[in-house]
Amino acid sequence: MSIDWWRTIQAWMDTDIVDDPNGPKLIIVTTQRATPGSAASALRPGPDRNPAEALRLLCEAARNSTSKETANSRQAFLELTPSRMKVFVGRMHVLDGSPAISDLDHAVRAELSILLPMGQEDQFMHQLWGWWYGRVIELLCGQVKGINGLQVKHEIDEIKAQYSDQALPKSAPVEVESSIISDYLDHVFVHQMRWVEWSPKLIELAIIDYYRAYVQAARWIEDRVIGYDEIGRYERRLQEEWEREREYMLLELAPDANDDARRRAGAKLLKTLMSQTQLRIRTRYDEAFFPRGKCHELADLGHIGWHPEFQNHLESLLLKESV
């Protein structure tokens, strides 16, 4: 007789696939316990499941209820042919006594206990829930028709692989608003790009890489999946690579090259370093924004630069700022 029952049945009937024997299970999840002897109890999974009894009880309720709120749904149900009714109810399942939403994380952790990386359980679950919420939104918006078990298993395997010795967990992409970009327009690494006439759009993309790399490293450190020493070693590798490419640039640059030629050489060096995203902090972490962002961070500190005379430009910039 429940209003919620008939609302749910109506929603299922609205899909026009009620008589598809190969259609998905139609599942009601509730924290309440089904009353013994009710249609809901007859649709629980297990050896006592009895769809025929549930069908009899639902038909009885549909005929005997006097609720105006469920009248249309009950009538539509009764107008189904006996064969369609049988298939329809046979696909219904009731998962009663389910955990409250506040207990779900604990329940899922228990199921995944052997897969969770020791000491990093919270980060793992944060990534898994983030993926799941994204899929739920797609479902609610009608962008996908369902989520199958293989997709869930694949995502769990993908996340688990990020916690190997040669991988790092990937965070959801950080949205960088225009106000954040504006805050960085006077940073040293931005000046460095202007000295080699990097375009405004490329400068904006560089700020995004810089910001995302900074946030990502901060999250790793906060979650204790990486230490400052490993990040420091990676920065030294990037700096060594820059030194090598800079020497190539200077070797090709004529001693009497004019300012325009020097800017072009610096722009070429910057492009080369931005393209060498294969230099990874760990072998299985392949996010391209991270090495690019870390290069800009090193440029912001003045450890590396793009213009052949970037040190002189830095000195002039510091003098100007101190005045």
Could you read off the pLDDT of 150-207 as tens digits, one per residue?
Answer: 999 999 988 887 777 777 888 777 888 888 899 999 999 999 999 999 999 999 999 9
- Please calculate the CA angle 60-61-62 and round it to the nearest 5 degrees: 90
pTM, entire model: 0.57
Helix locations, the chain, DSSP H: 3-13, 39-42, 51-64, 71-78, 82-90, 104-111, 121-140, 149-161, 178-183, 188-195, 200-222, 228-252, 259-275, 289-300, 310-322
Identify the pLDDT of residue 148. Answer: 87
Q: What does the mean pLDDT of the chain come to?
A: 91
Work out the pLDDT band at 323, boundaries 50, 70, 90: low
Contact 167, 161 (CB under 8 A): yes
pLDDT at 322 over 70: no
Identify the pLDDT of residue 23. Answer: 85
Task: State how far the alpha carbon of 242 is from the alpha carbons of 17, 234, 315, in Å.
Answer: 61, 12, 20
Task: Please compute Rg for the chain using Cα positions.
Answer: 30
Could you read off the pLDDT of 75-87 as tens digits, one per residue?
Answer: 999 999 999 999 9
With a pLDDT cut of 70, the percent of the chain lying above it is: 98
Work out the pLDDT band at 134, boundaries 50, 70, 90: very high
Contacts of 10 (CB under 8 A, 6+ apart): 72, 73, 76
Q: Where are the domains of the chain?
A: 3-95, 101-161, 178-322
Identify the pLDDT of residue 302. Answer: 95
Q: Which residues pair with 93 in a beta bridge?
A: 27
Identify the pLDDT of residue 230. Answer: 93
- Please calculate the CA angle 102-107-111 and round it to the nearest 5 degrees: 160
Identify the pLDDT of residue 288. Answer: 93
DSSP calls for 259-277: HHHHHHHHHHHHHHHHH-T
